[in-house]
Amino acid sequence: MNRIGDNATVTAGLSLKRVHKSFGSIEVLKDINLNIKGGEFVVFVGPSGCGKSTLLRLIAGLEEVTAGEIIISGRDVTDTDPSRRGIAMVFQSYALYPHMSVAENMGFSLKVARRPKDELRRKVEKAAGTLRLTDYLDRRPGQLSGGQRQRVAIGRAIVRDPDVFLFDEPLSNLDAELRVEMRIEIARLHRELGNTMVYVTHDQTEAMTLADKIVVLRAGRIEQVGTREELYDDPDNIFVAGFIGSPKMNFFSARLDGGEIEIGGHRLPGPAVKTLSKGEITLGVRPEHLRLAEKGEPFFPFRVKFAEFLGGATYLYGDVGDGALCTIASDRKTQAKAGTELRVMADPKFMTAFDDKGVRVR
Amino acid sequence: MTATTIVGQDAAAPPRGGGRIKYHRWIFHIAAALVAILFLAPIFWVVAAGFRLPSEALQPLPPWPTEGFSFDSYVRLENYGQSILHYTMNSAIVSVGTALLTIGVAVPAGYSFSRYHFPLKGLVFVLILSTIMIPFQSILTPLFLLLAKMGLQNTLLGLILIYTTLQLPFSVFMMRNAFDAVPKEIEEAARIDGVKGIRMLVQVMGRLVLPGIVTVGLFAFLNAWNEFLAALVLLTDQDKFTLPVLMTAVRYGRYGSVDWGAVQAGVTIMMIPCLILFLILQRSYIRGLTAGAVK
Ligand SMILES: Nc1ncnc2c1ncn2[C@@H]1O[C@H](COP(=O)(O)OP(=O)(O)O)[C@@H](O)[C@H]1O
Ligand SMILES: [Mg+2]
């Protein structure tokens, strides 16, 4: 009866139910609820110290939950040993066994489980092939580059053949070029293996490029869960709006009045807000949605401080009438000298409004 | 840049630089040789003095053979009490026992101090360390009484227990540092790979702190091998003597003279195991002392 009634857990690769975690008196995670479908690539993203790693370690079983349940593949694993949860973890610091060769590192879990030698060799060789590590199987981790070490760590996870892969900022120790390369590699692995993957990062670019589903965390709470499009186009609050997207969304204090808004004494058509008709709001507009106003169109002034030419686009940095900082992403033809005042505006459908607590008003 | 300035620099720089380096190198070599002689001379004297003729052996000076070469000192040493092999075995039992017991206690203790949280952990650790500051001579009498109560006076086991006790503070400190230097993630990766309990300590952690274990074991061995005072106080039965105590016993030659030859022969024999151990283990040992410093 339980199994039939509890449909969500059967199909979900991973569920967290009312999970809390405290270290002593400090509550690090507060009431985390999350359902992850089998095969999904989920990214936990948030600023440093928000509890991403702690949440991942709870799933892995390296920390015990203070309250709540963790369900993996329909099985309650809240009190299960890490090795029996059907997970594998890739650490930021690689955490390879320095005294073992690459092959021994990758096969260690099977050796501990006393699996037959030929099964061990077969699985290690297969994983090494997938990760292009075949030529390095006899080396020690100390003789490998950072990227190779990280691939060994991933190989060690693959050999365990887990239901859920857990990655804790696996790329942050690599240099920029290698990071992009490994990001593509991890995306390819997900396509090939089809396992559920949970990936922690503080880098929203990584989150946007890898995730089927993004979970934005702040100060131990989930701020929003959704696809990248949902988070980018339809953020629930000012934190998510500011965190997702690069360059950042612009925020102005504005007054909502009927269908119009007032910014620094200039009135222009405002966003469609049903729940509020009049009052102070914070208006959010993404840099690429700001454009120069045509003759006769309503506008607000923007004073250019400096311009960045990036080849494909030009970023203009400056401030608006009341001093709020503002960025405009424009096409490459745009040129503006520092000190020039431009007349800019945005289409009302690209405007998002937030109340004084930072919650989206729709 | 013009050609003339380059030529000018070239002409001036090399001889001056080369000269300075040569000069420094000479000073370095002379200083190093002096220091080496300072350290090696006593060892040379000891070894040489063991090979003097019996007629010279009772004189303190000169500490090398002048009239001929003889193994007689070694024969006299061998003929004292039981054979020298017997006393060497006593020393070996005590030293190896001390090293093993020290490792056996210090490794789990260091692991606990490094990885577990328990009440008063900091205080307990400082307390253990602070016992290094107590001169052990001052607690020798109570230690002796304690062992006597346990019926362990005049036994090698009693000596092992004393040496291990004295060796532990430093060893626990060393092992804690060694475990601290191992990243927590490696242990967590092993937990996920299914490693638990004693297997973690042996298969994963033990291998990573091996240099620390070697250092701790070597120190325990050497200190026990060379220790004199406690052995002298505790051991009264001539059969149980360790080598340092034996050395004082063979000193007294006939007619109240000092048998320098036999003492030096014994010291020479005592040095050999230390040298061998040190040479075999020196790589791990040096890594152990600097572990954590370069990671
Ligand atoms: N073992 C621990 N003991 C006490 N506090 C901890 C422990 N681990 C993490 N924390 C605290 O929990 C918070 C979240 O940490 P973490 O999950 O590592 O953040 P993130 O990975 O998002 O940067 C931080 O404030 C951190 O100080
Ligand atoms: Mg983290």
Q: What is the pLDDT of residues B38-76, one digit of tens each?
A: 999 988 888 888 888 777 767 767 777 777 787 888 887
Taking CB atoms and an 8 Å cutoff, what residues of chain B touch A88?
192
Contact between B204 and A113 using a beta-carbon 8 Å cutoff = no
Tell me which of B70, B102, B133 is where a domain ends: B70
Q: Is residue B6 part of a domain?
A: no
> A151 in ligand 1 pocket by Cβ < 6 Å?
no
Residue B137: give the domain boundaries.
Answer: 73-289
* CATH at residue B243: 1.10.3720.10
Assess whether pLDDT exceeds 80 at residue A112. yes
By C-alpha distance, the chain B residue nearest A108 is: B193
Tell me which of B50, B70, B90 is where a domain ends: B70
For B8-37, how does the pLDDT look when each residue is reduced to its tens digit (9 = 90+)?
A: 444 444 555 556 667 888 999 999 999 999
State which ligand 1 atom lies nearest to the alpha carbon of A52: 22
Assess whether pLDDT exceeds 90 at residue A274. no
Taking CB atoms and an 8 Å cutoff, what residues of chain A touch B200?
none
Q: Are residues B254 and B280 in the same domain?
A: yes
Assess whether pLDDT exceeds 80 at residue A54. yes
Q: Are residues B29 and B85 in the same domain?
A: no
Strand order in the sheet with A67-72: A26-37, A12-23, A67-72, A75-76
Q: Are residues B272 and B225 in the same domain?
A: yes
A190 CA to centre of ligand 1 in angstroms = 28
CA distances from B126 to B114, B119, B212, B219 (A): 14, 13, 20, 21
Q: Are residues B242 and B285 in the same domain?
A: yes
Nearest CA, atom 5, ligand 1:
A23
- pLDDT band at A9; cut points 50, 70, 90: very low
Give the pLDDT score at A82.
94
Q: Is residue B232 part of a domain?
A: yes
pTM: 0.81
Q: What is the mean pLDDT of residues A146-160?
A: 92
Assess whether pLDDT exceeds 70 at residue A329. yes
Q: What is the mean pLDDT of residues A105-120?
A: 94
Interface test with A, best of B117, B185, B193 (most A CBs within 10 A): B193
B193: nearest CB among A91, A92, A109: A109
A187 CA to centre of ligand 1 in angstroms = 27
Q: Are residues B29 and B119 in the same domain?
A: no
Q: Is residue B9 part of a domain?
A: no
Q: Are residues B56 and B182 in the same domain?
A: no
Q: Are residues B83 and B216 in the same domain?
A: yes
Assess whether pLDDT exceeds 70 at residue A122. yes
Q: Are residues B79 and B212 in the same domain?
A: yes
Give the pLDDT score at B256.
67
User: Any CB–CB contact under 8 A between B204 and chain A?
Assistant: yes
Assess whether pLDDT exceeds 80 at residue B98. yes
Q: Is residue B27 part of a domain?
A: yes
Q: Are residues B37 and B97 in the same domain?
A: no
ipTM: 0.84
Q: What is the mean pLDDT of residues A222-236?
A: 94
Q: Are residues B168 and B270 in the same domain?
A: yes
Q: Looking at beta carbons, which pairs linking B193-197 to residues 24 or more positions away fall under 8 Å?
A: B193/A83, B193/A108, B193/A109, B193/A112, B193/A156, B193/A160, B194/A83, B194/A109, B194/A112, B194/A113, B195/A83, B195/A112, B196/A81
Assess whether pLDDT exceeds 80 at residue B3. no
Q: Are residues B116 and B28 in the same domain?
A: no
For B192-211, how does the pLDDT look when each residue is reduced to its tens digit (9 = 90+)?
A: 999 988 888 888 898 889 88
Taking CB atoms and an 8 Å cutoff, what residues of chain A touch B287?
none
Q: How many C-beta atoms lie closer than 10 Å to residue A17's C-beta? A: 19
Give the pLDDT score at B292.
44
Q: What is the mean pLDDT of residues B121-130?
A: 92
Give the pLDDT score at A1.
35
Q: Please give the share of chain A, as a percent, with pLDDT higher than 90.
A: 64
Nearest CA, atom 20, ligand 1:
A49
Q: Are residues B102 and B65 in the same domain?
A: no
Average pLDDT, rounded, for chain B:
83
Least confident of A116-130, A321-335, B210-224: A321-335
For A180-193, how does the pLDDT look when each residue is reduced to its tens digit (9 = 90+)?
A: 989 999 999 999 98
Contact between B186 and A87 using a beta-carbon 8 Å cutoff = no
Give the pLDDT score at B253.
60
User: Any CB–CB contact under 8 A between A91 and chain B?
Assistant: yes
User: Any CB–CB contact under 8 A between A90 and chain B?
Assistant: no
In terms of DSSP bridges, do strands A290-292 and A300-309 run parallel, antiparallel, or are they unpaired? unpaired
Average pLDDT, rounded, for chain A:
90
Q: What is the mean pLDDT of residues A172-179?
A: 88
Looking at residue A248, the DSSP 8-state letter turns out to be P
Q: What is the mean pLDDT of residues B197-226?
A: 90
Taking CB atoms and an 8 Å cutoff, what residues of chain A touch B195?
83, 112
Tell me which of B70, B86, B116 is where a domain ends: B70
How many domains in chain B?
2
Closest ligand to C-alpha of residue A56 is 1
Give the pLDDT score at A138.
94
Residue A297 zone, left/alpha/beta (φ > 0; ψ -120 to 50; rest): beta
